[in-house]
Amino acid sequence: MDEQFIDNPLEQETETYSYPEGQFKKEVTPKTGINQETQIKQVVTDKELEGILSKQKATIKVIGTGGAGNNTINRISEVGVTGADIVAINTDAQDLLYTTADKKILIGKETTKGMGAGSIPKIGEEAARESEREIKEAIMGADMVFITCGLGGGTGTGSAPIVAEVAKKAGALTVGIVTLPFGMEGQRRYDNAMYGLERLESIVDTLIVIPNDKLLELAPDLPLQTSFRVADEILTNAVKGIAELVTKAGLINLDFADIRTVMNNGGVALIGLGESDTTDRAVEAVEKAITNPLLDVDIGGATGALINVTGGPDMSLEEARKVVETISEKIDPEARLIWGAQIMEDLQNTIRVMLIVTGVKSSQIFGPGSGVSEKRKKDIEDELGIEFVD
């Protein structure tokens, strides 16, 4: 803007104008005629700040599909995940009726008549295709979508990849969190799981895998029903631990861009959990997380790591730093590492570490080879009317 001067020294010109940085006023002094710019103080109310923050807040949706997925949704609804919408999907009307969620979708009303998929993934997939519009509506507007299910059955195994496709097309960061069946559940269920795992891995940004057989190493004497509940608890902790790093105020917070940095195209991921209330609790908790049977892999080859450190009001920032430092020393210096720290009142004298490593190669998931022989693949394709992705 050109400088303006006045002839009459007794007059003073004042003009207000705007720049991207804010509002300014230009004054011409009576004595010198020199322009002076001073920024007008910007007054903003808490309500206005809340409005700005609400627009910046990431929209997170947690979707559980199939019987096992709905069991996890029940647990997630029970403990609550700050700032997340909970969606339950199923082909079984009765199971869906007793699931607690913000939104429920009975998929494949024509395909299954609300009676389930009969442990056949192809039926679960067809049901999801039939109800794709309802799935799109449920996902609409999401920045991040978690998809949880137990692989090996019909509904979860068949529908989860379709839900993932919809989420990816909608532009959401898509994270699958799934369990693999116990060995005792039989070869057919294992083969179904490998089929679903392969399809999901090719679609989602990051796929967190929890092999149920590894739970037996954590607690070999647990009854089978309790083991399934432990799996639900781990799935719930994973969803809650990641989501609330963004949505819940903490000691050290992350923004959505941080999460996307590590989990976008993160590939297969494993989770390790550790907790300690000893005098050297920070180091012990992280060592337990790293050596956790669920994280049965050399983390040195990971491409990324996400760390959530949780403790009681007595946890210090130095302890949180020690956790992160210990992990950073064990992974590739080029790996992307992000971390957050939160306070929980009920964790008095305790530190809990959740470690998710991405881009890992694990024989416990895929086996020494592909996990399913070519002959067995052909048998499955013939029996179930499916086609493995090469």
Burial of 312 (0-12, 13-18, 19+ CB in 10 A): middle
**pLDDT of 374 over the 60 cut:** no
At 367, list the tokens: 């086996």
- pLDDT at position 152 is 97
- pLDDT at position 296 is 76
Q: Which amino acid is at 123?
A: I
**pLDDT of 69 over the 60 cut:** yes
Residue-wise pLDDT for 4-60, tens only, equals: 444 444 444 555 444 444 444 444 445 444 444 444 445 678 777 767 666 667 899
What are the angstrom distances between the C-alpha of 168 and each of 48, 136, 250? 33, 11, 29
What's the CA gap between 276 and 351, in Å, rounded? 6
- Listed range (40-54, 112-126, 169-183, 232-246) with the worst mean pLDDT: 40-54
Displacement of CA 26 from its chain's centroid (Å): 50
> What's this model's pTM, rounded to 2 decimal places?
0.78
Residue-wise pLDDT for 245-299, tens only, equals: 888 877 787 888 889 989 998 888 989 999 999 999 999 999 999 888 888 777 8
What are the angstrom distances between the C-alpha of 136 and each of 43, 123, 185, 196? 41, 19, 33, 21
Burial of 180 (0-12, 13-18, 19+ CB in 10 A): buried
What's the CA gap between 261 and 269, in Å, rounded? 14
Q: Which amino acid is at 291?
A: T
* Mean pLDDT to the nearest integer, 316-337: 92
- pLDDT at position 198 is 93
- List strands edge to edge, sheet with 35-39: 13-19, 22-28, 35-39
Fold of domain 270-360? 60s Ribosomal Protein L30; Chain: A; (3.30.1330)
- pLDDT at position 39 is 46
**pLDDT of 306 over the 60 cut:** yes
Displacement of CA 354 from its chain's centroid (Å): 13
* CATH class as words, domain 54-248: alpha beta
Q: Which residues are annotated as a binding site for GTP?
A: 67-71, 154-156, 185, 189, 232
* Mean pLDDT to the nearest integer, 132-155: 97
Give the domain ranges of the chain. 1-43, 54-248, 270-360
**pLDDT of 205 over the 60 cut:** yes
